[in-house]
């Protein structure tokens, strides 16, 4: 590109070079160009041309800074074309939908888990309830409820273990649910034995008076003991006295240790 | 010297003040900046050639900016805005490079 033959569409170069403003030195054109640049730069002259150019360059710098800043401070979407934006929006919509679906699925799962845990809780409650009921039967938990107290006084020592066993069977037949005799819980596996003039239940010696605490329906238990030829009359034949007292609240608080069977295992599950 | 100061002042003000560009002007700003850069390089070259005239510089600067903005505007209206902007940037880039080459020959003698 020649320095003199500028194309006519070059806007900054006038048709006729005006050289009166700058003295053309006799040296090489490169030298003169450098000198002109240096001369324009260093002694800052306040000429009209300098001011106008400064104004335009100010505008340019302003635009440059604004553009750079607006490009840099607002993410990658700023320069994106419309199609790209539409595509991105579509993708976001799809992603939102997928996430919504996933959320719904997870919520359903959560609901399921909650209901199943509710069921598990219910089953656990029922198990606990069952355990309590079975504990009453097995004698591992205390029980209370309506029932009777049977007190047998035997001043002559005529009452034997078989009579106490008869009494117990009679009470069971009448629907007794929890029984303790003188602080010994009587369960299905209890046994009576005569021991040196006294009676032992499950190997524990008990002494007179024999006090039965029985939980059950009092209206059934009392007549069962008092029927003619029943327990009370038989005991009275042996010179013993038997008092039956109904009570709205009988506490059976003697306990037995739960015994793990050595050989028998549950066949279910 | 004052011209260089003006450029620096413009950049500083633009960075510090953060003026809001009206939405109407916003799409034309980058292309106008490139066109103005082209005018500045042309002016620098003319100065090194010893044929710089301030009036010509002003006119070329303003007309460059206006024409570049006009082309983009037209391109947007015709639906080929992005392609036309690319074309304008390419043309201006070529001109900037040739002017820079001339300036380089003056300054570095190479």
Taken as a whole, chain A contains a residue count of 269
The structural domain count of chain A equals 3
- Cα of B4 to nearest chain A Cα, Å: 7
- Say if residue A170 is in the same domain as residue A245: yes
Record the tokens describing residue A216, joined without a space: 């059950």
* Domain with B90 in it: 23-108
- Which member of B5, B49, B50 has the closest CB to residue A54? B5
The answer to whether B43 touches A12, Cβ cutoff 8 Å, is: yes
pLDDT at position A124? 93
Is the four-CA dihedral A244, A250, A254, A255 of positive or negative sign? positive
**Cα-only R_g, chain A:** 55
* Domain with A53 in it: 29-71
- Say if residue A153 is in the same domain as residue A190: yes
Give residue-wise pLDDT tens across range B9-42. Answer: 888 888 787 777 777 777 788 888 889 889 989 9
Alpha carbons A194 and A215: distance in angstroms, whole number = 26
- Say if residue A230 is in the same domain as residue A209: yes
Is residue A183 domain-resident? yes
The structural domain count of chain B equals 1
CATH number at residue A237: 3.30.70.1880
Chain A residue numbers with beta carbons less than 8 Å from the beta carbon of B22 are none
Is residue A24 domain-resident? no
> From the candidates B5, B8, B11, B20, which should be mutated to test the interface with A, based on the most A CB atoms within 10 A?
B11
pLDDT at position A115? 93
- Report whether the peptide linkage leading into residue A238 is cis, meaning its omega lies within 30 degrees of zero: no
- Say if residue A237 is in the same domain as residue A170: yes
Q: Which residue of B has its CA nearest to A67?
A: B30
Is residue B72 domain-resident? yes
Strand order in the sheet with A204-206: A192-195, A198-201, A204-206
Please, what's the b/e burial string for A95-110 (b: 16 or more CB within 10 A of its CB; e: otherwise)? eeeeeeeeeeeeeeee
A219 close to B (CB below 8 A):
no
pLDDT at position A76? 67
pLDDT at position A74? 58
Q: What is the mean pLDDT of each run of 10 residues along chain A (269 residues)?
A: 42 42 44 71 74 84 81 65 87 96 96 92 92 85 88 80 84 87 84 80 82 88 84 82 86 81 80
Q: A13, B50: Cβ pair inside 8 Å?
A: no
Backbone torsions φ then ψ of B29, nearest 5 degrees: -60, -50
Q: Which of A32, A50, A23, A128 is nearest to B5 (CA)?
A: A50
Q: Which residue of B has its CA nearest to A64?
A: B33
Is residue B73 domain-resident? yes
Chain A residue numbers with beta carbons less than 8 Å from the beta carbon of B42 are 10-13
Furthest C-alpha separation in chain A: 161
Is residue A8 domain-resident? no
ipTM of this complex: 0.82
Contact residues for B102 (Cβ-Cβ < 8 A; gap 6+): A1, A3, B45, B48, B49
- Cα of A85 to nearest chain B Cα, Å: 14
Alpha carbons A267 and A233: distance in angstroms, whole number = 45
Is residue A10 domain-resident? no
Q: Which residue of A has its CA nearest to B4?
A: A54
Record the tokens describing residue A186, joined without a space: 């009587």
Chain B residue numbers with beta carbons less than 8 Å from the beta carbon of A10 are 42
Is residue B6 domain-resident? no
Is residue B32 domain-resident? yes
- Say if residue A202 is in the same domain as residue A120: no
Q: Which residue has the tokens 């024409």?
A: B67
- Say if residue A43 is in the same domain as residue A102: no
- Say if residue A107 is in the same domain as residue A185: no
- Say if residue A170 is in the same domain as residue A233: yes
């Amino acid at each position: 590109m020649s320095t003199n033959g500028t194309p006519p569409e070059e806007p900054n170069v006038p048709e006729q070079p005006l050289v009166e403003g700058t003295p053309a030195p006799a040296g090489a054109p490169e030298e003169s160009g450098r000198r002109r640049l240096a001369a324009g730069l260093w002694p800052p002259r306040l000429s009209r041309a300098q001011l106008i150019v400064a104004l335009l360059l100010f505008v340019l710098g302003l635009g440059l800074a604004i553009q750079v800043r607006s490009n840099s401070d607002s993410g990658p979407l700023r320069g994106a074309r419309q199609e790209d934006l539409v595509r991105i929006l579509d993708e976001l919509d799809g992603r939102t939908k997928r996430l919504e679906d996933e959320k719904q699925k997870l919520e359903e799962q959560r609901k399921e888990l909650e209901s199943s845990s509710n069921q598990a809780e219910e089953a656990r409650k029922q198990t606990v309830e069952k355990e309590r009921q079975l504990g009453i039967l097995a004698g591992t938990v205390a029980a209370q409820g309506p029932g009777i107290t049977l007190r047998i006084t035997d001043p002559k020592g005529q009452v034997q273990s078989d009579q106490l066993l008869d009494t117990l069977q009679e009470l069971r037949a009448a629907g007794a649910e929890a029984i303790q005799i003188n602080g010994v819980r009587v369960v299905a596996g209890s046994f009576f034995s005569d021991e040196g003039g006294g009676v032992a239940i499950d190997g524990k010696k008990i002494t007179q008076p024999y006090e039965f605490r029985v939980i059950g329906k009092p209206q059934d238990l009392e007549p069962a003991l008092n029927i003619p030829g029943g327990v009370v009359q038989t005991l009275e034949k042996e010179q013993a006295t038997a008092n039956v007292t109904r009570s709205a609240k009988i506490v059976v608080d003697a306990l037995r240790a739960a015994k793990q069977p050595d050989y028998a295992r549950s066949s279910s599950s | 010297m004052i011209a260089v100061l003006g450029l620096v002042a413009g950049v500083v003000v633009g960075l510090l003040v953060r003026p809001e560009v009206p939405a109407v002007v916003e799409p034309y700003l980058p292309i106008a900046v490139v066109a103005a850069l082209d005018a500045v390089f042309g002016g620098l070259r003319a100065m090194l050639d010893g044929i710089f005239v301030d009036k010509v510089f002003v006119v070329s600067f303003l007309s460059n900016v206006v024409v570049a903005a006009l082309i983009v505007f037209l391109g947007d209206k015709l639906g080929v805005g992005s392609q036309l902007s690319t074309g304008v940037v390419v043309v201006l880039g070529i001109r900037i490079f040739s002017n820079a080459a001339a300036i380089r020959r003056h300054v570095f003698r190479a």
